[in-house]
């Protein structure tokens, strides 16, 4: 390992440490993430030739050609990162539009209960189911919006929000469209929809239920100081009831349509999200046009999409940009690939141990490059653990998804909730990480029981 490689790793570790201690340093995590991203890639371009030769052996250019190739590599990774960021911004905007127009009020009424523990279980199962249908990122945004309408106390809300992260990641792990990593494995033909649902559903459920059983002891008594049921009704309604229902149907129905749009067109999910946002935006503009004709006056409406866009948390977006691009640099210097190969050697191809460690790592670095690295290192085999729906691939889907719950920055759901609810890295690590780890290990053990004694061969 070269000195430059070690230096890049040290910069990443130092940046990660500063992000983890944000509550102590009082420096916004987005600023650190951006500096980490820029510093890692700046170090990379000091001597990129060895890295390019290692990761891209087919490239034979020299001199200026190497510099141009590195710029192309960075642009490629930025494009991959942008798909996640635009998906995030689109989903957050759609949910905010629906929420501002009272779309989630009925869900709030269905879930409303006086018992803190009763509410916890309702939130857990609804999040688990929705994350499999939509995705863990969008589901987390929706559930946090609902949670804000039900719980006023921020300390209690942090506990509920933590369970939302765990339930969203667990629900996304057993569905071929519930998480980016399962989509990657499914599209590559390494898992099938029937196989991953039938064999990962129960382990994923266990990984959610056990943390919920533990977390319920952090919530006692009845809910006090909840948001007024008629809060939304007291706001000045810009649209009538029929129009508000239309916005809800288009927004939520559109989110459900995104996986279908992807399966039909084979385009990235963010394009489907932007399609839904464009349709919803156009519909609301037509509604406002009707209001102008009916009422006249100023065009400045508080709930117009142009005003809602200004509420998007850009610090979270920039933080996500910095983290993903810094991890991409680690991928380009070969660290992730070497780590995966070393794990396979150290654990003597014990795939329960290898995928288990990969799951733990996915809570530290992004699970997408980890899974991508594994897909490149381990080709599909005709038989055995590496075959289609083999133990390795199914466990990888489970571990990469559920493992991200162990740290709040280990998943897209965690990063979003962290930004929306202002949960610190230190609080989550102290209070929640060990609980998520217990559920994670229990799910792996459950999967071992299923594959050893019940489904000894995949469906």
Model pLDDT for residues 399-434, shown as the tens digit of each residue: 988 998 998 878 878 888 887 888 888 889 999 999
pLDDT value at 10 more than 60: yes
**pLDDT tens digits for range 88-105:** 788 878 878 887 777 767
Burial letters for 124-143: b for 16+ Cβ neighbours within 10 Å, e otherwise? bbbbbebbbbbbbbbbbbbb
What is the average pLDDT across 435-439?
95
User: Closest Cα to residue 83, out of 222, 273, 211, 358?
Assistant: 273
pLDDT at 234 (0 to 100): 42
pLDDT at 112 over 80: no
For residue 376, what pLDDT is reported? 61
pLDDT at 11 over 90: yes
Whole-number pLDDT of residue 36: 94
Check pLDDT > 50 for residue 229: no
More confident residue, 401 or 107: 401
- φ, ψ dihedrals at 89, nearest 5°: -65, -40
pLDDT given for residue 302 in this prediction = 62
Predicted pLDDT of residue 295: 64
pLDDT at position 187 over 80? no
Helix (H) or strand (E) holding 284: helix 269-295
pLDDT of residue 269: 79
Looking at residue 232, what is its pLDDT?
44
The pLDDT of residue 441 is: 95
Q: What does the pLDDT read at residue 6?
A: 93
| Residue of 287 and 78 predicted with greater confidence | 78
Amino acid 72: pLDDT: 93
Could you tell me which residue, 29 or 205, shows the higher pLDDT? Answer: 205
Phi, psi of 42 (to 5 degrees): -65, -40
Q: Over the stretch 141-167, which tens digit does the pLDDT of each residue have?
A: 888 888 887 888 888 889 999 999 999
Q: Label residue 301 by pLDDT band (50, 70, 90).
A: low
- Could you tell me which residue, 342 or 264, shows the higher pLDDT? 264
Backbone region of residue 221 per phi and psi (left: phi > 0; alpha: psi in -120 to 50; beta: other values): left
Does residue 32 have a pLDDT over 50? yes
pLDDT of residue 208 exceeding 50, the answer is yes
Mean pLDDT, range 57-75, rounded to an integer: 89
Mean pLDDT calculated for residue range 197-219: 92
The dihedral through the CA atoms of 197, 202, 205, 206 has a sign that is: negative
Residue 169 in this model has a pLDDT that exceeds 90: yes
Which pLDDT band, with edges at 50, 70 and 90, does 107 fall under?
Answer: low
Share of residues in the chain with pLDDT > 70 (%): 88
Residue 42 has pLDDT above 90, yes or no: yes
Q: Which two tokens stand for residue 360?
A: 């733990």
Q: Is the pLDDT of residue 224 over 70?
A: no
Tell me what pLDDT residue 255 has: 79
Share the mean pLDDT of the chain. Answer: 82
What's the whole-model pTM score? 0.72
Q: Is the Cα torsion angle 448, 454, 457, 459 positive or negative in sign? A: negative
User: Which residues on neighbouring strands pair with residue 115, listed in sequence order?
Assistant: 222
């Amino acid at each position: 390992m070269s000195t430059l490689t070690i230096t890049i790793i040290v910069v990443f570790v130092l940046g990660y440490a500063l992000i983890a201690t944000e509550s102590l340093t009082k420096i916004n995590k987005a600023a650190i993430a951006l500096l980490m991203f820029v510093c890692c890639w700046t170090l990379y371009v000091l001597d990129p030739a060895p890295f390019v030769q290692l990761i891209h052996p087919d490239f034979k250019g020299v001199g200026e050609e190497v510099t141009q190739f590195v710029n192309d590599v960075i642009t490629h990774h930025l494009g991959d990162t942008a798909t996640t960021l635009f998906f995030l911004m689109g989903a957050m905007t759609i949910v905010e539009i629906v929420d501002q127009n009272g779309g989630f009020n009925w869900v709030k009424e269905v879930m409303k209960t006086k018992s803190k523990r009763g509410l916890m279980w309702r939130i857990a199962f609804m999040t688990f189911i929705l994350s499999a249908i939509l995705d863990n990122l969008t589901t987390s945004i929706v559930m946090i919006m609902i949670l804000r309408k039900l719980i006023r106390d921020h300390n209690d809300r942090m506990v509920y929000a933590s369970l939302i992260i765990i339930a969203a990641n667990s629900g996304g792990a057993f569905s071929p469209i519930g998480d980016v990593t399962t989509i990657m494995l499914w599209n590559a033909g390494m898992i099938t929809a029937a196989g991953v649902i039938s064999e990962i559903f129960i382990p994923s459920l266990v990984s959610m239920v056990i943390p919920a059983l533990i977390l319920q002891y952090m919530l006692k008594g009845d809910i006090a100081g909840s948001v007024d049921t008629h809060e939304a009704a007291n706001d000045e309604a810009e649209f009538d009831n029929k129009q508000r229902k239309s916005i809800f149907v288009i927004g939520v129905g559109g989110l459900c349509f995104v996986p279908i749009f992807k399966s039909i067109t084979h385009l990235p999910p963010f394009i489907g999200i932007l399609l839904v946002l464009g349709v919803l935006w156009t519909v609301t503009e037509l509604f406002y046009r009707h209001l102008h004709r009916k009422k006249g006056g100023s065009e400045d409406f508080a709930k117009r999409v142009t005003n809602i866009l200004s509420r998007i948390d850009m610090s979270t977006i920039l933080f996500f940009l910095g983290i993903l691009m810094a991890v991409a640099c680690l991928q380009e210097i070969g660290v992730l690939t070497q780590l995966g190969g070393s794990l396979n050697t150290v654990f003597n191809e014990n795939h329960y141990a290898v995928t288990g460690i990969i799951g733990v790592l996915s809570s530290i670095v992004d699970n997408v490059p980890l899974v991508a690295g594994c897909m490149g290192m381990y080709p599909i085999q005709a038989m055995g653990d590496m075959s289609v729906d083999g133990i390795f691939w199914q466990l990888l889907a489970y571990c990469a998804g559920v493992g991200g719950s162990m740290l709040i920055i280990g998943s897209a759901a965690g990063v979003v909730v962290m930004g929306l609810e202002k949960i610190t890295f230190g609080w989550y690590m102290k209070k929640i990480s060990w609980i998520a780890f217990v559920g994670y290990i229990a799910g792996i053990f459950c999967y071992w029981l299923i594959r050893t004694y019940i489904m000894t061969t995949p469906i």
